[in-house]
Structure 1
Amino acid sequence: MQKQIFPIIGDEKELPFYIVGIGVECWQYPVNRTGGYDFPQILVTNEGEGEITVNGSTVKLPVNSVFFIPPHLPHEYHSLSDSWIVSWVCFSGSEAEPLLEKWGLNKYAYFLSADTERMNRIISKAYYTIKSDKIYGNHYASAQLYDLLIEYRKIADNRQSELTSVSTVALADVLQYIEEKYAGPIKLGDLAQIAGITEQHLCRLFKKNLQMRPMEYLAKVRIQHAKEMLVYSEKNISEIAKATGFPDSSYFSALFKKHEGITPGEYREQH
């Protein structure tokens, strides 16, 4: 029995994300859509092997492959084995495609031999959420769809392999050093030396993974610790500035207001 649902769509259309169709470990029949499909699709291969053709290019899809097909893109896929088992989701929503576009993931793509365990769990959970509640199930599944898109982004960004890469280990060492030594003087050269890479490479790693420069991150860590001291200690502003690594209270107050929109004194009063 095919475990798939095409829920009746009502006020779900007002949601930022909602599921149009979903299937869990389904036997995949041959598909040939010369005009594409109206909604974006994410498919995960569970068993067997398939093949997809887009724009004249054909790719074999082994177990644990993930592929994304944007709306209205002509495509064809079929099994290459006795049975090809896939899980899939078709979706829509006012924020779904804009979010994928913002992430640069709104184009046809496939990822072979990916870590699909969590993605399969999310699809299965969304399926049973919709199946168990005919009225509000798809509303609850909206959040699970968002979770699925994040998981797809993680696979697309190759985050799993990055976690074991030399660069990521280097970045983790720097983050730990900042957290432990934020109160003392820290220079960009110090951080690069700890990572064992050039300052330029370190800046690229920070920009790619944290969307900020190393010294910006250091300032944020210092301000976060200063906020805790403002609330939970009786130290004055000057003492807190010194304790969190700022050269003087004036610079600390100016930077704090830039980040938080209020002065340290005002923050303490509010909290």
Structure 2
Amino acid sequence: MMEYIYTEPVGLTDLAVLEVGTQACSPDMAVGPCVRDMYILHYVHRGFGTYTTGGHTAHIGPGRLFLILPDAVHTYSPDPSEPWEYSWIGFTGTYAYRLFEQAGFSGSVLVRQPDAADPIDALFRELLGYRDTHAKELLLTGALYRLFGLLAIPPSAPPASPDAGPHVRKAVAFMNARYADRIGLPDIADHLGLDAKYVCRIFQQRLSMSPYRYLTDVRMRKACRLLRMQMLSIAEVARSVGYPDPLLFSRMFKRTIGLSPTAYREKARLESAGDKLPINGT
């Protein structure tokens, strides 16, 4: 299912919305390689996909934003097993570059994870509601300013209960020590002697992520180090970081890092070989 709104923002030069839309993708709905003549900001409501531009590839999941620049060659495609649903807003204007830079999109970093407390999901979903509204161009442009305003606010950690800090530190130490074992949230909660839901809540308060996300990040960092060493097979790396199933490991690695383990290892090998090349033929 796909819905669009096209606009005619006559007289708006500082910032003007040209189109908005939403799309629930099927697995084969890839876009590009191609270019567009506007900025296009996507927000992923659910599912996963891959975005490539400027020689950089990112695997993007729910709650993340990715930005397409005018005249930049880009490709994006849904994950075959969990295709994404996203909304987008296309815009132009003399203020556009300054606004998206203030919102945290700069250089090659064209993907952002907004603060979970910000109503970004709801804001994108309400855009299509302006379809039959008088002066929808002004309303859509106002919504875009509000979106950039939310993204420009520095994230602030919500207050945690006084005793949350020691619990989180103990959980972090446990995961850093036991990442190679088949542990999960029940094991972490048992180690702390706390309810699993409470553990999730204090993790979100202190670290703005779930225990599962933290454990996955630890495992992927360790996996990157092992892959760069070029000594172990992919299956051996998987088992070394707590994944008995190499296929599951490969899927999680690509989802987190943006490359398959094989591609990451080859990239690391080429970079290492490049560092060893003689300079000026000497």
* TM-score, L = length of structure 1: 0.50
* TM-score, L = length of structure 2: 0.48
Flag the structure with larger Rg: 1
Greater fraction of residues in helix? 1
